[in-house]
Chains A and B, each alone.
Chain A
Amino acid sequence: MSTDVLSVRKRQEGLQFVNGLESDSDSDVEMSNDEKTESTREAQDGTIVTPGELVTDDPVWMRGHGTYFLENQTYASVAGTVSRVNRLLSVIPLRGRYAPETGDHVIGRIAEVGNRRWKVDIGAKQHAVLMLGSVNLPGGVLRRKSESDELQMRSFLKEGDLLNAEVQSLFQDGSASLHTRSLKYGKLRNGVFLQVPSPLVVRSKNHTHNLPGNVTIILGVNGFIWLRKTSEVDTANNTSTVMGKNAAALSGSKGDYKPGTNSVSITRLEEESSWEIYSDKNDHISDSMKKTITRYSNVIKALAHCEIGITEARVVAAYEASMAYSHAGSLIDKDNMEAIGQDVINAEKMRGNA
């Protein structure tokens, strides 16, 4: 069947939302006198609680997020699951914006250029702050700040620019302070941006992965993702652990360890801290590379649609599963997205049992 130019899903008679407006009774609601007696037991771990519900009346617990207390009673303030870790009792909401933690590797977009600092949108409740002193300035990593730097801030990073950074610390109100004081952080180029719900990106040791096909992915913990052509720095920091059947054929490295491969020379430091790191120019990217990036972008969106957690292994698995569709543009169809999601889950289950 030729590619549909337009795929339409029609529903008639009612705004049936995905959850389904299942009315148990079509008739009006009666005032029943026999209401269920309220459970006086404590809500168990992992059960759903809703706002105003009593979680425990034991005063020994420390109250964490998602709760409030009156006298000795602890109540839930959000709808979510109860979590009891050590002596900390909290309710994890089912949904919520990204909440930064120190050490998180995130991607952000410059929202404002201010007085010796930038405000960065990382999809949290507040913009994060990137201080002028927390970035690498051209001319050498150790250069002291001077007055002219502040005025030239826009020549480094301006509104709309994307960068990856690490959360250095948190302010009292939970908002983040970022830094890019490492060569693996900084302005992003040579690629495309996409966004997935932040809970789908799990915190791990490394968030930059080299994927088969010479594409590098940065999985921001905040759900912001960058896909780009693998750069020299990426190849030097090669941390790919992918075992896919295409991986060996497509990726450049042969996997042999050579002494000094992962270190960066002093002269490289000087180079990298030049104006190049703030350049707004892209390298030349071939058409086939762009196609690869597009395909990765679509499969990641498919994983997000199926609410599957995004990891390097799953992205590669989804990419391989997507090769069944020669036209990458057909991956935007809901049914195809769900099929790929299923394939990835099934492959994992089988591997788990093997």
Chain B
Amino acid sequence: MSRLEIYSPEGLRVDGRRWNELRRLDCSINTHANASDGSSYLEQGNNKIITLVNGPQEPKLRSQTNVNKATLSVAVNITRFSKVERSKSSHRNERRVLEMQTALVRTFEKNLLLHLYPRTQIDIQIHVLQQDGGLMGSLINGITLALIDAGIAMYDYISGVSIGLYDTTPLLDLNTVEESAMSSVTLGVMGKTEKLSLLLVEDKIPLDRMESVLAIGIAGAHRIRELMDKELRKHGERRFANISS
């Protein structure tokens, strides 16, 4: 039985991609109009994510009311059937998930103009139907789209992507097999700039390789932003045409 080659001498990865190729990205917004103020459905490779945004709305708990700005909360529901092997237990109160939620809140808190919505609450609910690596990056993309759909003011897009380092070769947009075989980094990039809203490094990375990893990551994130923007404009033009008629 041949072993899967993470990176062949010809420069091909396990799924046939090259080192700098993103996985297939498909997105839709306003997918759950009845159930939310803003929603999106995102497929990045085999990641399938539904994001629902409710708000700005009256806070459910008086204690959560901030008189200066909106309160942002993120809830990630990783379903038990999201991986090939069904999970033994629910991921609801898992430490890893709670940390993801906190990181996402911190990332978007700086990007949204929360001071425009004092005394309100913005709730983001995410359902991960399927995951195959690079989950954090995909979550960021889904949230960006859903927040834009809800009409919540922000400074710019934040696009997320993961990059791995295989020996000395950076690999863009990792899947599960690759993620378990090497160190990886997740980036949240602001719009078309090179500014990072999120830098997530949980493995060992040699510092002298960091620059090449960031470079391809930022380029990949820009490409993702382009794809999301294209879909948004298409959707916007369609709606605009409907309303004017």
Q: Consider the complex of A and B and state whether they touch directly, i.e. have CB atoms less than 8 Å apart.
A: yes
- Is A334 close to B, CB under 8 A? no
Q: Say whether B232 contacts A50, CB under 8 Å.
A: yes
17 A-B pairs, CB-CB below 8 angstroms? A15-B48, A19-B30, A23-B24, A28-B15, A28-B17, A29-B25, A31-B223, A48-B237, A50-B229, A51-B153, A66-B153, A68-B153, A94-B235, A94-B240, A97-B57, A126-B119, A345-B245
Q: Say whether B23 contacts A23, CB under 8 Å.
A: no
Cα A27 to Cα B190 with chains together (Å): 26
- Is A138 close to B, CB under 8 A? no
Stretch at the interface among B3-11, B37-45, B80-88: B37-45
Closest 10 CB pairs of A and B: A52-B156, A96-B151, A93-B151, A77-B153, A48-B236, A52-B191, A29-B22, A125-B56, A17-B28, A19-B28
Q: Say whether B155 contacts A125, CB under 8 Å.
A: no
Give chain B's interface residues, CB within 8 Å of chain A.
Answer: 15-17, 20-26, 28-31, 37-38, 41, 43, 48, 55-58, 113, 117-120, 148-157, 172, 190-192, 219-220, 222-223, 226-227, 229, 232-233, 235-240, 242-243, 245
Closest to B216 in A: A31
Closest to B227 in A: A29
- Is A25 close to B, CB under 8 A? yes
Picked from A21, A30, A48, A121, the residue with its CB within 8 Å of the CB of B26 is A21
Cα A93 to Cα B29 with chains together (Å): 14
Determine chain B's interface SS by DSSP, over half rule. mixed
Task: List the B side residues contacting A277 at CB < 8 Å.
Answer: none
Shortest A275–chain B CB gap in Å is 30
- Is A95 close to B, CB under 8 A? yes
Q: Say whether B151 contacts A28, CB under 8 Å.
A: no
Q: Say whether A23 contacts B26, CB under 8 Å.
A: yes
Cα A77 to Cα B240 with chains together (Å): 18
Known: A19-B235, A78-B152, A125-B57. A27 touches B20 (CB 8 A): no
Q: A51-B155, A127-B58 are in contact. List 19 more A-B contacts (CB 8 A).
A: A17-B31, A19-B28, A28-B23, A38-B192, A46-B240, A50-B233, A51-B153, A52-B157, A52-B190, A77-B154, A79-B148, A79-B232, A79-B236, A80-B151, A94-B151, A95-B30, A95-B149, A121-B58, A125-B57
Q: Say whether B24 contacts A51, CB under 8 Å.
A: no
Q: Say whether B56 contacts A29, CB under 8 Å.
A: no
Number of residues of chain A lying within 8 A (CB) of chain B? 46
Task: List the A side residues contacting B229 at CB < 8 Å.
Answer: 50
- Is A256 close to B, CB under 8 A? no
Per the 8 Å Cβ criterion, residues 66-123 of A in contact with B are 66, 68, 75, 77-81, 93-97, 111, 119, 121
Task: List the A side residues contacting B58 at CB < 8 Å.
Answer: 111, 119, 121, 125-127
Q: Say whether B223 contacts A29, CB under 8 Å.
A: yes
Closest to A119 in B: B58
Closest to A81 in B: B240
Shortest A312–chain B CB gap in Å is 20
Known: A31-B21, A31-B219, A52-B192. A97 touches B157 (CB 8 A): no
Shortest B174–chain A CB gap in Å is 13
Shortest A168–chain B CB gap in Å is 19
Cα A23 to Cα B238 with chains together (Å): 17
- Is A34 close to B, CB under 8 A? no
Closest to A173 in B: B118
Indicate the member of A21, A31, A119, A345 with the most B CB atoms within 10 Å. A31
Task: List the A side residues contacting B37 at CB < 8 Å.
Answer: 95-97
Q: Say whether A50 contacts B41, CB under 8 Å.
A: no
Q: Say whether B153 contacts A21, CB under 8 Å.
A: no
- Is A13 close to B, CB under 8 A? no
Shortest A15–chain B CB gap in Å is 7
Task: List the B side residues contacting A93 at CB < 8 Å.
Answer: 151
Task: List the B side residues contacting A81 at CB < 8 Å.
Answer: 236, 240
